[in-house]
Amino acid sequence: MNMPRMPELAREQLPEDKRHVWDEIVASRGFVRGPFSAMIHSPELAGRAAHLGAFVRFESSLDPQVRELATLITARLMDCDYEYAAHARQGRELGLRGATLTALEQRRLDEAAEEDRWLVELVQQIVLKHRVEEATYRSCEQRLGLNGLVELVGTVGYYLLLAATLNTFEISP
């Protein structure tokens, strides 16, 4: 297991006027670890990211299966083992299709279940091509509505932020 590139902070090491951020993250997640152990070096960033994460995880209108599958696809495309490990169990518990879970586990996204390929294609286009093709956009908008599509893109963006943080600072599962 790699050691993170930065020291972990304790609550007492934060400036006194920023310790509330630590407390808010602990109140929401139960701990400060993973990407937040890096982000807490910038308490303002950590607090804002945690706030966005709370919306994405608990308040979004997205179907939980769609959210978790988008998270897992993003984690795989970013080669982020921490993020993948953190969400694989949740995906199984939510009943994601076995063929899709196997494809993700084996890093063969093109073998996902037919019913999930629309989401694989969308996330691949966002992450790898940096643009979404018109046909993919229209198909996803029809499936989710405009609000749902906006929330899905925001979800992918949130997990890209976490994966970039985890990978940059070499935080292992």
CATH 1.20.1290 residue spans of the chain? 64-168
pTM of the shown model? 0.94
Is the pLDDT score of 2 beyond 60? Answer: no
pLDDT digits (tens, 9 = 90+) for 158-170: 999 999 999 999 9
As a residue count, the chain comes to 173
CATH T-level topology, domain 64-168: AhpD-like (1.20.1290)
| Residues in contact with 139: Cβ distance below 8 Å, sequence separation at least 6, in sequence order | 118
pLDDT digits (tens, 9 = 90+) for 42-91: 999 999 999 999 999 999 999 999 999 999 999 999 999 999 999 999 99
CA distance 82 to 75: 8
